[in-house]
Amino acid sequence: MSNKDKKVRIALLGGAGMMGQGIVRDLLSDRAIVDIAELKLFDSSRERMRALGDAMDNDARLSLHELDVSDAQALRRALDGVDICVNAVPTLAGHQMAIFAAALDARADYVDLGGLGTYTVKQLEWHERFRAAGVVAVLGVGADPGMSNVICRAVADQLDEIDSIHLYWAATLSGAENPVLVPPYSVSTVLAEYAHPCVQFLGGRHVECAPQTGKEVIDLPEPWGRCEFMYSIHSEQLTVPLADGIRQKGIQEFTWKLHLPKREHEAWVGLVKAGFGDFERLLDINGTPVRPLDLLNAVINRNIAENAQRIPAQQSSEIHFAIGRGRVGGQPATARCEVIVRAHPMYEGYVDAATSMNASIAVQLMLRQSGDLRRPGVYAPEAYFDAKSYFVEAEKRQFAISLTRQIG
């Protein structure tokens, strides 16, 4: 029996969180290309799990399990008998390597959502261990990283020689201005993007750059318009320029840049100025040690809950694009791959449809592989997925994809 016909069992850790809920929705939708026997959802919040179960009409394939991922024995038991472990626990919570190791021990394939490259290099060093065990791990399989890595592969495949690839992501919101700060994703992730030094690939080597530098203005179609981008901590620049089929083409420069909507951008800049960029070091408040991140999360979540009626309906649009420059047949050439995600009824109920849907795509493409197509080891997305097959699944989810090349 091929993997295309096999009933699969999936363990989703952190499954009732913002991204996990979206992964559940997509895996159990009619877009699925795998036959799921059981989707085991693990989370520390029974309340959130029950709410998600109710939202999914208590789908018989979905089972709910409380789990403290810091309990090594419980974590190992959670992965017994599953085909793949989907790690949607926030990376900066500090459990990434423990979950990664537990998947290897359980001989379960593994994916995570990346986490800014915090553990990416360390995880890639486990390639031979995973290969010898016959286990596949693909790191960073959301939208950025994830789909973004795949569009870089698509661009690279259009060029015989590569001088540079520049990768960008921009989001914008349409509708009435929101009087409440609603994070676009994990608060720790946004703060790290704005406050922590990042590594870019410049002059043929990795270079540390200060946060909020590398500013570049690009005119984009509406609704984005003129956008100012900045360097940001991420994992794509750690892996793409070193990937087989890319580094051999002579790449000398690879960067990743971010643009958030103006008001939200100003809010995060302000929080960093206030000192929240140092979000792990304990702060003494009336004799009680408190992490600034925990305090900020609590205040933001309380504010959202208490002002829910003031949050206007807004439509989010995002654009992901990579521009590669080099040569084809000795002639100067430019390749561009662009993915646009606009508001769509399909995304109702998702916090971040692009991230969670792309994670679901990656999981399903991995589960479909068998025989010679299956390559045990640890990979970044650009080294594992075929861009053409990946884009077929992305287009099912109403992502608008274009790939162009100009020569001369």
pLDDT (0 to 100) of residue 4 = 54
Structure tokens at 111: 């994916």
Mean pLDDT of the 11-32 span = 96
Please tell me the distance from the alpha carbon of residue 82 to that of residue 193, in angstroms, as a whole number: 34
pLDDT tens profile 338-382: 999 999 999 998 988 999 999 999 999 999 987 778 999 999 999
Of the pLDDT bands very low, low, confident and very high (cuts 50, 70, 90), residue 1 is: very low
Mean pLDDT of the 53-77 span = 96
Q: How many CA atoms lie within 13 A of 16 on its CB side?
A: 21
pLDDT (0 to 100) of residue 351 = 86
| Listed residue (34, 103, 107) closest to 368, CA to CA | 34
pLDDT (0 to 100) of residue 115 = 67
58 φ, ψ to 5°? 50, 50
pLDDT (0 to 100) of residue 189 = 87
Parallel, antiparallel or unpaired: strands 35-43 and 62-66: parallel
Mean pLDDT of the 291-302 span = 95
Of the pLDDT bands very low, low, confident and very high (cuts 50, 70, 90), residue 289 is: very high
pLDDT (0 to 100) of residue 76 = 96
Of the pLDDT bands very low, low, confident and very high (cuts 50, 70, 90), residue 3 is: low
Which amino acid, residue 367? L
pLDDT (0 to 100) of residue 94 = 86
pLDDT (0 to 100) of residue 303 = 96
Is 251:162 a contact under the CB 8 Å cutoff? yes
| Listed residue (129, 130, 138) closest to 110, CA to CA | 138
* Residue 18 in this model has a pLDDT that exceeds 90: no
Please tell me the distance from the alpha carbon of residue 152 to that of residue 155, in angstroms, as a whole number: 5
pLDDT tens profile 78-110: 999 999 999 999 887 889 999 999 999 999 999
pTM for this prediction? 0.92
* Average pLDDT across the chain, whole number: 95
pLDDT tens profile 110-121: 999 986 787 999
pLDDT (0 to 100) of residue 5 = 67
Q: What is the number of other CB atoms lying within 10 angstroms of the CB of residue 348? A: 9
Please tell me the distance from the alpha carbon of residue 166 to that of residue 292, in angstroms, as a whole number: 34
Please tell me the distance from the alpha carbon of residue 194 to that of residue 13, in angstroms, as a whole number: 27
Mean pLDDT of the 256-273 span = 96
pLDDT (0 to 100) of residue 15 = 95
Q: What percent of the chain has pLDDT over 90?
A: 90
pLDDT (0 to 100) of residue 370 = 76
| Listed residue (370, 164, 136, 318) closest to 252, CA to CA | 164
pLDDT tens profile 392-406: 999 999 999 999 999
pLDDT (0 to 100) of residue 2 = 47
pLDDT (0 to 100) of residue 186 = 83
Is 261:248 a contact under the CB 8 Å cutoff? no
Please state which of the ranges 69-83, 86-100, 158-172 shows the lowest mean pLDDT. 86-100
Radius of gyration of the chain from Cα atoms? 21
C-alpha 3: how far from its chain's center? Answer: 25
SS3 sequence of the chain: CCCCCCEEEEEEECCCCHHHHHHHHHHCCCCCCCEEEEEEEEECCHHHHHHHHHHCCCCCCEEEEECCCCCHHHHHHHCCCCCEEEECCCHHHCCHHHHHHHHHHHCCEEEECCHHHCCHHHHHCCHHHHHHHCCEEECCCECCCEHHHHHHHHHHCCCCEEEEEEEEEEEEEECCCCCCCCCCCCHHHHHHHHHCCEEEEECCEEEEECCCCCCEEEECCCCCCEEEEEECCCCHHHHHHHCCCCHHHCCCEEEEEEECCHHHHHHHHHHHHHHHCCCCCCEEECCEEECHHHHHHHHHHHHHHHCHHHCCCCEEEEEEEEEEEEEECCEEEEEEEEEEECCCHHHCCCCCHHHHHHHHHHHHHHHHCCHHHCCCEEECHHHHCCHHHHHHHHHHCCCEEEEEEEEC
Mean pLDDT of the 14-24 span = 94
Q: What percent of the chain has pLDDT over 70?
A: 99
